[in-house]
Structure 1
Amino acid sequence: MKKLLSIVSLVVLSGILAACGSESGASSGSGSDEVTIGYFPNINHVAGMVAEEQNLYEETLPDGTEVNYQYFPDGSAFMTAIETGEIQGGIVGPGPAMNHFTSGADVNIVAAGSTGGTVIMARKGADIEAPEDIAGKTFITPRVGCTHDIQFETMMQEEFGITSDRIDGEMKHVTGKPATYSSMFESGNVDVAAVPEPWASSIESEGTGEVLVQNSNVSFNDKLPAAVFVTSQDLKDEDPGLVQNLVDAHIQATDFINENPDESKEIAINKIKDITDQELSAEVVDNAWDRIDFTYEVNEEILQLFANSSYELQFLEEKPNLEGLVDTTFIEQ
């Protein structure tokens, strides 16, 4: 199996994918002999790690299919790779999938990956004891309009009437990789973070920040898919058998996680170290695991509510209609 392990190249990747077209990866026909899967190095994406380590795609795809992997730093780069054919499927947050779909991208959510896992952390020494104290402070999320950003800004606007400077509000917004949040807290560069696991638990362990809002109290909490399995509309239409193979492997990975949590945690620790060069302790992963549910079932209604919130926060220019984004037929086989 060819494994692409260079996380450094991902930063460059996000800038060049649009020029790459679909020269690599599987062809759209049923004779595909190469498939590339993408995911992020975080706990919400453990199904991708398990499927890779357990060779589950090799088991469901036709004999001789070469399976490659790409690891992404953010949802925008991932969705661009889906649209250009650089990857055939994989796991991403619902925010980028929704945003690209409403912008005209022919993509489909064919399964969920997990729910929960977004935690709001405050820097120690930032004089923040409650969400109301965030006014005038700087918060960080992985990307503008990403899943964690929408969850955080929805909560702040609906419950506390506080918005970001992007819409002339009182909070300053910056972006960055979650693995760097602890060091940014330590340096005092940011005050608050909407953090995907396991990085929230890592911040807790390192003592640079503390939980301000548990994931169960963040907007959309455990009902919103924190990760979804996405493929292109073209691939689904032209080779539904291939998409079914991919979804079957993803379902097997999800079942494995729920039936073998200890082994799955070990896989996650090792894969995150391989990809990010950061080793998480068993204690950190245990803590993160408790904040996440691993499921392939998709809640379409909550996705539409999430999309409506993205529009209300002005991440989208038009009120979205997600009809056609979710296709559950592959998980119902």
Structure 2
Amino acid sequence: MRSLPLRRIGNLATVAIVAAATLGTAAACGGDDESGGSAAGKPVTLRLGYFPNITHAPAIVGVEKGIFAEKLGPNVTLEPKTFNAGPEAIEAVFSGALDATYIGPNPTVNAHSKSEGEAVRVVSGAASGGVALVVKPDITSVEGLRGKKIATPQLGNTQDVAIRYWLKEKGLTTTKEGGGDVSIVPQANSQTLETFRSGAIDGAWVPEPFVSQLVNAGGKVLVDERDLWPGGKFVITNLIVSTKFLKAHPDVVQNLVNGQVAANDFVNKQPNQAQQAISDHIGKITGKPLDLKLIKQAWPTLQFLDDPIASSLKTGLDHAVAVGLTQPVDLNGLYDLSFLNKALKEQGETEVPLP
């Protein structure tokens, strides 16, 4: 979305954070150790995925400010890994390369569906909002999108589903191959600013900070996705954990969720420090800090909350079915909010009802 060309975000960038100075030998992979891991005093490695987007602010702040490392304790080594969009993060979970990840709702549903409900569990929310359709200034209505090319981060990701359903509701067609009344062009977010400026695309349905980048490049917001949801709230980011890792290391998962709650608390109570941490951390990944002005511009469009807003995930699934990107899915068993509610209770905060 803006002035920063996030060129290498699409590549899997890995930042290793060693949470314990005492780990002189290689840590065991948490997902493969069925003996209980850190609960038994053994070293564990937690591989945590997230995106270098403002919609993943709690994850970025949790890593950059050392909140996760502190909550996970000295027996856990945190290995953060960044991704461009949800489907590739889910592939990493399925391949055994990732134990937990911050991710959008549609890839969450796909992971649940492909594994017949066995692969992952949603253990917390993280963020709501921060998504919009930005278009060229001469496009003033949905009808003006006919014959245009609109980018999304990846075929089947949360924003890809959102625009296809919205267009369907407005009477315009799309296809997976890029045909129909409106051509949907999945591409890495890091490419969108360049393709928008060059005229290769006419707009994009994307998350922050890419929304603000496109606006600053001369685009305008045609649809703020908050306007499409009850109360303006919908899950854009939740935290999932592989079921295998959760069963092997429930204590590590509890501490990870404790870290999520603490990171969200930091983001909400100390926004200026959180924004600086986001800028610094993205700079470490891409080689160039994200402009603080850009972060502040995008900030009001987001809410950072621990509630995963399960009802919006179910609605998103219905939308994906409607546009032919997935089949109906039984969501039973997807959520395990016991870790979240324990963390919230200990902080004196309101627990989240089970969906």
Which of 53, 62, 79 is the aligned partner of 1:51? 62
Which of 199, 207, 212 is the aligned partner of 1:188? 199
User: Contact 2:10 / 2:189 at 8 angstroms: preserved in 1?
Assistant: no
| 1:314 CA displacement | 0.4
Identify unmatched segments of 5+ residues in structure 2: 1-7, 14-26, 343-355
| 1:24 CA displacement | 7.3
Q: Once structures 1 and 2 are overlaid, which stretch shifts more, 166-175 or 186-195?
A: 166-175
Which of 112, 124, 139 is the aligned partner of 1:128? 139
Which residue number in structure 1 is paired with residue 12 of structure 2? Answer: 10
- Structure-1-length-normalised TM-score: 0.87
| 1:153 CA displacement | 1.6
Q: Once structures 1 and 2 are overlaid, which stretch shifts more, 212-221 or 321-330?
A: 212-221
C-alpha root-mean-square deviation of aligned residues, in Å? 2.2
| Secondary structure at the counterpart of residue 176 of structure 2 | helix
Partners of 1:274 and 1:299 in 2: CA distance: 31
Which of 32, 35, 53 is the aligned partner of 1:42? 53
| 1:113 CA displacement | 1.1
Cα deviation 1:1-35 (Å, max 9, x = unaligned) = xxxxx757529xxxxxxxxxxx9742433234222
User: Contact 1:35 / 1:66 at 8 angstroms: preserved in 2?
Assistant: yes
Which of 264, 267, 272 is the aligned partner of 1:262? 272
| Secondary structure at the counterpart of residue 12 of structure 2 | helix
| 1:218 CA displacement | 4.2
Which residue number in structure 2 is paired with residue 274 of structure 1? Answer: 284
Q: Once structures 1 and 2 are overlaid, which stretch shifts more, 63-72 or 257-266?
A: 63-72
| 1:101 CA displacement | 1.1
Which residue number in structure 2 is paired with residue 90 of structure 1? Answer: 101
The yes-or-no answer on 1:239 pairing with 2:252 is no
Which residue number in structure 1 is paired with residue 123 of structure 2? Answer: 110
Q: Once structures 1 and 2 are overlaid, which stretch shifts more, 239-248 or 84-93?
A: 84-93
User: Contact 2:126 / 2:237 at 8 angstroms: preserved in 1?
Assistant: yes
Which of 91, 99, 110 is the aligned partner of 1:80? 91
- Structure-2-length-normalised TM-score: 0.82
| 1:266 CA displacement | 0.6
Partners of 1:8 and 1:176 in 2: CA distance: 9
Cα deviation 1:72-96 (Å, max 9, x = unaligned) = 1221221122223322212111111
| 1:233 CA displacement | 1.2
| 1:100 CA displacement | 1.7
Letter in 1 for 2:149: T
Partners of 2:28 and 2:151 in 1: CA distance: 34
| 1:305 CA displacement | 1.3
Which residue number in structure 2 is paired with residue 331 of structure 1? Answer: 340
Which of 311, 320, 323 is the aligned partner of 2:329? 320
Partners of 1:177 and 1:42 in 2: CA distance: 12
Identify unmatched segments of 5+ residues in structure 1: 1-5, 12-22
* Matched length: 313
Q: Once structures 1 and 2 are overlaid, which stretch shifts more, 149-158 or 191-200?
A: 149-158
User: Contact 1:298 / 1:328 at 8 angstroms: preserved in 2?
Assistant: no
Partners of 2:114 and 2:190 in 1: CA distance: 29
| 1:138 CA displacement | 0.8
Q: How does 1:54-69 map to 2 (within 5 A)?
A: 54-69=65-80
Partners of 2:147 and 2:124 in 1: CA distance: 39
| 1:194 CA displacement | 0.3
Which ranges of 4 or more aligned residues in structure 1 deviate by more than 4 Å?
Answer: 6-9, 218-221
Letter in 1 for 2:299: W
| Secondary structure at the counterpart of residue 255 of structure 2 | helix
Cα deviation 1:280-310 (Å, max 9, x = unaligned) = 3322111211100001112222211111111
Which of 149, 160, 174 is the aligned partner of 2:160? 149
Distance 1:248 1:301, change over 3 A: same
